[in-house]
Amino acid sequence: MPEPQRSPQPLDRNGKRLQANRQPVKNKNVKRLPRTDSFPLPAWLKLLMSAQKMSIAMTVLLTISVFVIYGWTVYAQEQWNQQYKKLEQLKRQERQLTTAEGSFDNDMLRSVQKKPGELVRERPEQSIFLQAAPLRPKREVPATVSELPKTKQNESLGY
């Protein structure tokens, strides 16, 4: 079985192969930046950094609120459109019922004109007046549930 090929070693600037275990060379010309903990930041820089953080937070919140308001308006418009369609349908049905009622009244008038004896005008003598039922005496309402009667009497309910 053939041996798998290894990737070639990286080359340095002179074209020589670097050894894998070799320590990196420290360059004496490169200066390290001081740590941020070692000296205090000026107040104006701290203020700008906090203003940046606040503006980022406000931007995120405003973006979210814009999307919420946009979604709500789209939803409200959709609901309004649906309700408007229902209103238009109800208006159409009302017109159809009004037309049907007018047609029914017209048919009724024609039948009365053809046979006038079938319909009779109302007169007060023909009216039936009913007497109101006598008032029942008020029953005392028990103060607690335990005072309610245990047995129910057969009472007929009025219509």
| pLDDT tens digits, one per residue of 105-119 | 898 888 888 887 776
The predicted pLDDT at position 87 comes to 97
- pLDDT confidence bin for 82, thresholds 50/70/90: very high
Q: pTM here?
A: 0.40
The pLDDT of residue 159 is above 60: no
Mean pLDDT of the chain: 82
Taking residues 122-139, what's their average pLDDT?
87
Q: Are 111 and 117 in contact (CB under 8 A)?
A: no
- Under DSSP, is residue 41 helix (H, G, I), strand (E, B) or coil? coil
Q: Is the dihedral of CA 102, 105, 111, 112 positive or negative?
A: negative
The predicted pLDDT at position 60 comes to 97
| Residue that wins the pLDDT comparison between 27 and 96 | 96
